[in-house]
Amino acid sequence: MNGNQVLQMALYFVILLLLALPLGSYMSKVYQGEKTFLDPVLRPLEKVIYRILGVRPDEEMSWKRYTISLLLFSLVGMLFLYLLQRVQVFLPLNPQKFGNVAPDLAFSTAASFTSNTNWQSYGGESTMSYLTQMLGLTFQNFVSAAVGATVAVALIRGLVRRTSKTVGNFWVDLVRSTLWVLLPLALVFALFYVSQGVIQNFAPYTTVKTLEGGTQVIAQGPVASQEAIKILGVNGGGFFNTNSAHPFENPNPLTNFLQMLSIFLIPGAFAFTFGKMVKDTRQGWSIFAAMSILFLLGTGVLLYAEQTGNPLINNLGINTHASMLQPGGNMEGKEVRFGITNSAMFATMTTDASCGAVIAMHDSLTPLGGLITMLNMKLGEVIFGGVGTGLYGILIFAVLSVFIAGLMVGRTPEYLGKKIESREIKMAMLSILILPVAILGFTAVAVVMKQGLAGILNPGTHGFSEILYAYTSAVANNGSAFAGLTTNTVFYNTTQGLAFLMGRFLPIVPIMAIAGSMGGKKAVPVTEGTFPTYGPMFVALLIGVILILGALTYFPALALGPILEHLQMLGGKTF
């Protein structure tokens, strides 16, 4: 990194901490039912919602009931979104008279937004009505993020409580996540976006004359409201096909910086919420430090790769001397307003945090740059991750790290005063293994079937990378893509729809089982042999476990894709 990039990164983390620390403290009060400054406005509204839903906020749930409530809520939301797309032509707020969405695409989109993935095999401005965008997609941007938060909070309660049979009330956690956290932040951010030029209207699309004498249709719509929650909720689904590279979604460097802050804001704050709720802020700082170090490592490699560019290209065209650098770096697929540095930072953040929003086309990244974005997702939602999902993802690795440390010193592992036993390790490994089984399994099916190969637009190793990236993004609930792969087909809409749901909901069940199991345990007194779960040693162990497991699991697949493509590029091979 050069001085300018270091300064940008330092400024980013300073502002992120200034915002995440108080937000984390505020969120801990929200989830523990303590008084907040928004109570006079939101508490009466909360009571009305409970009365309408028939919810008793003082009635807590076992982990099984909590999980069933979560899954049923998500299923109903998905069916509603599917139906909305299938009948949108008959509904209001459709000035462009868009037709009903095809069944396979409607299924894929409903599964995508319900699972907080927001993969879009369609152009938003040419497929979805205003009503579908707002009532269907934007609504899911709120509640799918809130669902992730509920799991994180339930797991924290399981780690904190002693001999408890309950982990909280799903409906209460869902309402508080939406009303107290997501809605106020989205309102503030949406108003700011409007002030910067992000559009927010219900006007029909505008047809204008171009300088060449032709015509161009300029899409309109309620963009700012969706843009705010798409980033804050770490959803990523854009109103427009080009996502945050579109000037109506991301008009200037200030809004771009704010979007990068928004991606890590709530996931980063959750680390400090964790520290507050377990009554040991060192635990939260250690989690935040591990996330930040992994992010900086990925950003450094991606920046280097994009600034180095393609060694086969120089000012005169093709260069046979691979040692020469591409002048100006790799600007292919980059939005010229933001350049390489911001594009590399954004690409790393959006794949770290399961966001999927983009300001540069990931398909145009260098092989090493594409490798980093894929690896970020393959590690699981642990490098900040989504709302709540980043925290519970890295906590599972923390439990595994403590177990490994216990094996090294020959004593029963403990985490936050609880013994880690075989049940917890089995559940932790189950939740971790779901990701690679689904990613590699779906990829294997796609590369041996003509329906999967038919979508490839680039031959050779990059074509394999496009398929591998697609299912990595799907199972990791990210939503970004190597856009060279055509996925709006029955095969990809169906298999990716299943991948969205598997990646989101299958790991939740064993994680909730861990919450219930840990909540029922008694506290274990701290002794001299207790392994500390904070500080540099624990952070290094946690990072090591994450990277080693990722490398052992995915190296063969990555070797067939971006690694081989990089070696071919250095050897002078082009496609």
Name the token pair of 34.
């303590």
pLDDT of residue 528: 75
**pLDDT band for position 328 (50/70/90)?**
confident
pLDDT of residue 444: 96
Nearest to 226 by CA among 144, 143, 138, 128: 138
What DSSP character marks residue 381? T
Burial class of residue 407, CB neighbours in 10 A (0-12, 13-18, 19+): exposed
Average pLDDT, integer, range 257-269? 96
For residue 107, the one-letter residue type is F
Average pLDDT, integer, range 317-327? 57
Tokens 């979560």 belong to residue? 70
pLDDT of residue 322: 47
With beta carbons less than 8 A apart as the criterion, state whether 145 and 116 touch: yes
pLDDT of residue 315: 47
**pLDDT band for position 318 (50/70/90)?**
low
pLDDT of residue 157: 96
Cα distance between residue 389 and residue 436, in whole Å:
17
Distance of CA 77 to the CA centre of its chain: 19
With beta carbons less than 8 A apart as the criterion, state whether 201 and 222 touch: yes
Name the token pair of 126.
């040419």
Cα distance between residue 200 and residue 90, in whole Å:
23
Write down the mean pLDDT value for the chain. 92
Cα distance between residue 358 and residue 356, in whole Å:
6
DSSP code per residue over 236-253: ---SSTTGGGSTTT--SH
pLDDT of residue 242: 85
Cα distance between residue 66 and residue 74, in whole Å:
13
For residue 538, the one-letter residue type is F
- Indicate whether 31 pLDDT > 70: yes
Domain residue extents for the chain: 27-264, 283-570
Q: List pLDDT tens digits, range 203-213.
A: 899 999 988 88
- Tell me the β-bridge partners of 485: 456
Q: List pLDDT tens digits, range 434-459.
A: 999 999 999 999 999 999 999 888 87
Average pLDDT, integer, range 356-381? 93
pLDDT of residue 407: 83
**Range with the lowest mean pLDDT among 21-30, 55-64, 402-411?**
402-411
Percent of the chain surpassing pLDDT 70? 97
**pLDDT band for position 289 (50/70/90)?**
very high
Nearest to 289 by CA among 473, 20, 27: 20
- Indicate whether 323 pLDDT > 60: no
Q: List pLDDT tens digits, range 172-214.
A: 999 999 999 999 999 999 999 999 999 999 989 999 998 888 8
Higher-pLDDT residue of 112, 239: 112
- Indicate whether 512 pLDDT > 90: yes
Collect all residues with Cβ–Cβ distance below 8 Å to 357 and sequence separation of at least 6. 230, 231, 236, 238, 243, 244, 259, 263, 346, 350, 479, 480
